[in-house]
């Protein structure tokens, strides 16, 4: 007998609170794209867990209907890692900004990638600190004058795509908040992917970043899938593309590779999610552990 496919309405992913971002903020587009991605994958809200850190974009779990945690600054990846290991049947999605993820949270970001944890990380990259009113962030371009760099930023910006590629992420993509359907497909691909997925999203801050605007990106961004012969399985080509910036900026899937995840190799998870395993310890194991203390 054929199994009927249930089409879930988009409205079920709408949270109980309306977004309060500045009018025109790119984060609205990211939220919509996440909703579209969840609908595309027909994911029940009970199977989705959204974790964030601190920042304008990190308010997103409150605007999305699913399990959610608004955690500490820079600690979203750590919290999400624990949740995934406790219940690896959940689809765990992390949402945050460039300051939260590529600044204070960078250490967790790198180690989650090298472990290839099965997580999907959506970073709303506006190249500025929006919540704290306009300081330079880890991705602010050199020379950009901000509240904290009035004479121009002198620091080299983090390249999140290149960093993800060399750190072991197995799905690396970049989207544009204004390209809703394209971004939704990238997010859906990241959630579907078995392994660590980064979706770096250009999400313009209309209040504090007057350089990297929606129009600025529209004039420069092109889709990798339109490049003749581009192969997202080629790591070296993806790495070269990650440094393309200026007149032409690529968006789309840079790299995708199927590899074993940390969860695949962890013996404690071979019998299913920890939350569904009995708490009782086998007598043999108990005696073996106690023997070590004698």
188-205 pLDDT per residue, tens:
999 999 999 999 999 999
Structure-token match 């012969």, residue found: 229
Closest CA to 198 of 233, 247, 161: 161
In CATH, what number is assigned to the domain containing residue 22?
3.40.50.970
Q: Which pLDDT value is given to residue 4? A: 52
Confidence category of residue 218, pLDDT binned at 50, 70, 90:
very high
Quote the distance between the C-alpha of residue 72 and its chain's center: 16
Residue 276 included in any domain: no
- Minimum mean pLDDT range among 88-92, 112-116, 127-131, 277-281: 277-281
Residue 11 included in any domain: no
Residue 191: give the domain boundaries. 18-267
Mean pLDDT score, 40-58: 96
Percent of the chain, pLDDT > 90? 88
Is it the case that residue 182 has pLDDT exceeding 90?
yes
Residue 9 included in any domain: no
Is it the case that residue 36 has pLDDT exceeding 60?
yes
Percent of the chain, pLDDT > 70? 98
Q: Which pLDDT value is given to residue 70? A: 95
Confidence category of residue 286, pLDDT binned at 50, 70, 90:
confident
Mean pLDDT score, 90-97: 97
Is it the case that residue 20 has pLDDT exceeding 80?
yes
Residue 165 included in any domain: yes
This prediction's pTM? 0.93
Cβ atoms 107, 82 nearer than 8 A: no
Residue 2 included in any domain: no
Mean pLDDT score, 32-61: 96
Is it the case that residue 6 has pLDDT exceeding 80?
no
Q: Which pLDDT value is given to residue 107? A: 97
Q: Which two tokens stand for residue 86?
A: 């406790």
CA gap 169, 114 in Å, rounded: 7
CA gap 43, 12 in Å, rounded: 10
* Beta strands 171-176 and 120-125, pairing class: unpaired
Residue 275 included in any domain: no
How many structural domains are present in the chain? 1
Residue 84 included in any domain: yes
- b/e per residue 20-42 (b: at least 16 CB within 10 A): ebeeebbbbbbbbbbbbbbbbbe
CA gap 98, 168 in Å, rounded: 19
Is it the case that residue 252 has pLDDT exceeding 70?
yes
3-state secondary structure of 174: strand
Mean pLDDT score, 114-120: 98
Residue-wise pLDDT tens digits, 152-168: 999 999 999 999 999 99
Residue 293 included in any domain: no
Q: What is the average pLDDT score of the chain?
A: 95
Residues 269, 275, 277: CA angle, nearest 5 degrees: 65
Cβ atoms 197, 169 nearer than 8 A: yes
| 226 contacts: CB under 8 Å, gap ≥ 6 | none
């Amino acid at each position: 007998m054929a199994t009927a496919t249930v089409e879930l309405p988009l409205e079920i992913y709408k949270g109980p609170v309306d977004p309060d971002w500045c009018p025109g903020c790119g984060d609205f587009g990211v939220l919509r794209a996440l909703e579209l991605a969840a609908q595309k994958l027909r994911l029940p809200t009970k199977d989705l867990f959204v974790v964030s850190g601190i920042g304008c974009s990190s308010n997103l779990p409150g605007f999305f209907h699913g399990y959610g945690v608004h955690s500490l600054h820079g600690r979203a990846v750590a919290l999400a890692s624990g949740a995934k290991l406790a219940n690896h049947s959940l689809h765990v999605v992390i949402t945050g900004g460039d300051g939260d993820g590529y600044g204070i949270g960078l250490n967790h970001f790198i180690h989650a990638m090298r472990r290839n944890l099965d997580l999907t990380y959506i970073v709303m990259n506006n190249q500025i600190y929006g919540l704290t009113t306009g300081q330079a962030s880890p991705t602010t371009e050199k020379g950009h004058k901000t509240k904290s760099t009035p004479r121009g930023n002198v620091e080299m910006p983090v390249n999140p795509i290149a960093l993800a590629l060399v750190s072991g992420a197995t799905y690396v993509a970049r989207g544009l908040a204004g390209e809703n359907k394209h971004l939704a497909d990238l997010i859906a691909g990241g959630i579907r992917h078995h392994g660590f997925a980064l979706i770096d999203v250009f999400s313009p801050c209309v209040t504090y970043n007057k350089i990297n605007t929606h129009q600025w990106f529209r004039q420069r961004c092109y889709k990798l899938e339109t490049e003749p012969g581009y192969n997202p399985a080629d790591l070296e080509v993806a790495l070269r593309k990650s440094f393309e910036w200026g007149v032409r900026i690529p968006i789309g899937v840079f790299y995708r590779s199927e590899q074993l995840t940390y969860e695949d190799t962890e013996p404690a998870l071979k019998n299913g999610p920890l939350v569904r395993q009995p708490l009782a310890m086998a007598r043999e194991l108990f005696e073996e552990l106690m023997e070590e203390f004698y």
